[in-house]
Amino acid sequence: MNDDILKVLYSKQDIDAIIKRLAGEISRDYAGKNPLVVCILKGAIMFMTDLVRELDEYVELDFMDVSSYGNATESSGEVKVIKDLDTSVAGRDVLIVEDIVDTGRTLSYLIKIFKTRDAKSIKVCTLMDKPDRRIKTVEADYVGTQVPNEFVVGYGLDYAERYRNLPYIGVLKPEIYQN
Ligand code: 5GP
Ligand code: MG
Ligand code: MG
């Protein structure tokens, strides 16, 4: 699996440092609150589990799986809920945890539905942001790092369901896409 990687963008140590900083900001902003942390499956799973273990406050966890159809490396305009939350968001401080914001379609859709469900507040924490590719005007409140316009894998992020279990984030060798 490691042989498929062209270059490492963020080592586990880099990711740990990013998470410590984000967790400090989030703990400060949510002091005394009991936010509902919504992990967007599957890509954000590693990030969410590491992030919440660095928070000082009580939190509740829930999961949502959404899919935006398209080819393997690019999303289409359509977003569909594959697995919805178990928890009601009405009156809750919702913190959406995402792996990466790319076109912004997924995020703008999620924010829209949580608004219609009467969340008290909605904020977004993303590990990575690709602002160059934005189609929908949407910004995360907490951004781990900005990434160039390259398709990244590892630490939860996949290519064709592989590479999620890499402990770092990297870029695949071009021949992997051509197979
Ligand atoms: P958006 O709706 O913002 O275009 O895309 C959001 C989703 O597409 C992300 O949550 C992620 O699952 C997937 N995605 C976007 N960019 C990348 C990337 O560089 N690598 C991987 N593996 N997934 C990506
Ligand atoms: Mg995602
Ligand atoms: Mg994916």
Taking the whole predicted model, whether its pTM rises above 0.80 is answered as: yes
Report if residue 56 sits inside a domain. Answer: yes
Report if residue 51 sits inside a domain. Answer: yes
CATH label of the domain that carries residue 126 = 3.40.50.2020
33 burial (CB, 10 Å; 0-12 / 13-18 / 19+) is: middle
Per-residue pLDDT tens digits for 101-123: 999 999 999 999 999 999 999 99
Report if residue 75 sits inside a domain. Answer: yes
pLDDT above 90 coverage of the chain, percent: 85
Ligand 1 pocket, 102 CB below 6 A?
yes
Ligand 2 center–CA 156 separation, angstroms: 9
* Neighbour-count burial for 109-144, b at 16+ CB within 10 Å, e otherwise: bbbebbeeeebeebbbbbbbbbeeebeeebebebbb
Report if residue 25 sits inside a domain. Answer: yes
Is the complex ipTM more than 0.90?
yes
- The answer to whether residues 69 and 75 touch, using CB atoms and an 8 Å cutoff, is yes
Atom index in ligand 1 nearest the CA of residue 106 equals: 2
Tokens for 7, please give them: 């270059």
Report if residue 106 sits inside a domain. Answer: yes
161: left (phi over 0), alpha (psi -120 to 50) or beta: left
- Whether 102 is catalytic is yes
Domain count, the chain: 1
> Catalytic pick from 102, 118, 132, 141?
102
Nearest CA to ligand 1 atom 13: 100
What 3-state DSSP class applies to 12? helix
Report if residue 121 sits inside a domain. Answer: yes
Ligand 1 pocket, 75 CB below 6 A?
yes
Report if residue 109 sits inside a domain. Answer: yes
Ligand 1 pocket, 50 CB below 6 A?
no
Q: Residue type at 83?
A: K
Report if residue 159 sits inside a domain. Answer: no
The parent domain of residue 112 ranges over 12-150
